[in-house]
Amino acid sequence: MTYNTLLTELDSHVLTLTLNRPQAGNALNTEMLTELNVLLGALYIDPGDVRCIILTGAGEKIFCGGGDLKERKGMTDEAWRRQHALAEQIVRHLIECPVPIIAAVNGAAFGGGCELVSAVDFAYGVDTARFALTETSLGIIPGAGGTQTLPRAVGVRRAKEIILTAAAFTAQEAYDWGLLNRVCTQATLMAETRATALRIAGNAPVAIRQAKKSINMATQSDLASGYRFELEAYYRTVPTTDRIEGVLAYNEKRKPVFKGE
């Protein structure tokens, strides 16, 4: 499909998904929220050739400025609620997407943009990026998963400081606190992110999907229940042809060719 607010490029099983409203700070307006739901919903049903996703923003200054406050000016409570329902679905799609999602944070990630970063599987960011959850300074609270995903990334006490102060923090602080996995230069961000995405895409697709689901359970259940979930996920990989190919390739000292079967 073609989109008005998104750019997509699929190469070597890696889908690069770019938020493409640079003139508006890549802010999440109703059209972008709708298009993201269509794209992510389709991937949930059938990822096809996609084995990893890179989520980034157009330009070199802003990853995503959060909700489009110009569009929201004068919105009725009902219109606000309806628009926000789209954001709620996106959070669920990001967390439950069967393939891994890496954010390549090319610039500022404020409000909902910061929530996108904390909702994906992990993130790399440029050294000039800045982050903030500014909602409490606007009379609301994070509503795109921020009060749930951020504490899982940076810890409860740090998340409270970030959310309650609404203060901005740097890429280095984001890395030190656990929101970013790596800090890059603007020149190397996409190359480093893509290298990691390609490495993931080169592994067995069924195993990657099962591992992601199992890891997500780690913070949602007790250890015994989580381990039972892991075993169910593990045994789903045993009858796959990729499992047979992986062992055979190891013994033949060659790179495996996985088909997702």
Q: pLDDT tens digits for 170-213?
A: 999 999 999 999 999 999 999 999 999 999 999 999 999 999 99
Compute the average pLDDT of residues 63-82: 85
Q: Is the pLDDT of residue 55 over 80?
A: yes
Q: Is the pLDDT of residue 1 over 80?
A: no
d(CA 211, CA 216): 9
pTM: 0.93
User: How far is residue 44 from each of residues 97, 118, 133, 192, 245, measured CA to CA in Å?
Assistant: 6, 19, 28, 26, 26
Could you tell me the pLDDT band of residue 81, with boundaries at 50, 70 and 90?
A: confident
Catalytic option among 78, 135, 230, 261: 135
Q: Is the pLDDT of residue 71 over 80?
A: no
Predicted local distance difference test score (pLDDT) of residue 20: 97
Could you tell me the pLDDT band of residue 69, with boundaries at 50, 70 and 90?
A: confident
Asked about 245 being catalytic, the answer comes back as: no
Q: pLDDT tens digits for 140-178?
A: 999 999 999 999 999 999 999 999 999 999 999 999 999
First to last CA, the chain: 26
On whether the CB atoms of residues 1 and 48 are closer than 8 A, the answer is: no
Predicted local distance difference test score (pLDDT) of residue 261: 87
DSSP secondary structure string, 86-139?
HHHHHHHHHHH-SS-EEEEE-SEEETHHHHHHHHSSEEEEETT-EEE--GGGGT
On whether the CB atoms of residues 239 and 221 are closer than 8 A, the answer is: no
What CATH number does the domain located at 6-201 have? 3.90.226.10
- Residues linked to residue 123 through DSSP beta bridges, in sequence order: 103
56: helix, coil or strand?
strand
Q: pLDDT tens digits for 21-53?
A: 999 999 999 999 999 999 999 999 999 999 999
What CATH number does the domain located at 205-251 have? 1.10.12
Catalytic option among 115, 161, 192, 245: 115
Predicted local distance difference test score (pLDDT) of residue 219: 87
On whether the CB atoms of residues 133 and 160 are closer than 8 A, the answer is: no
Asked about 115 being catalytic, the answer comes back as: yes
For the chain, the domains span 6-201, 205-251
Predicted local distance difference test score (pLDDT) of residue 170: 98
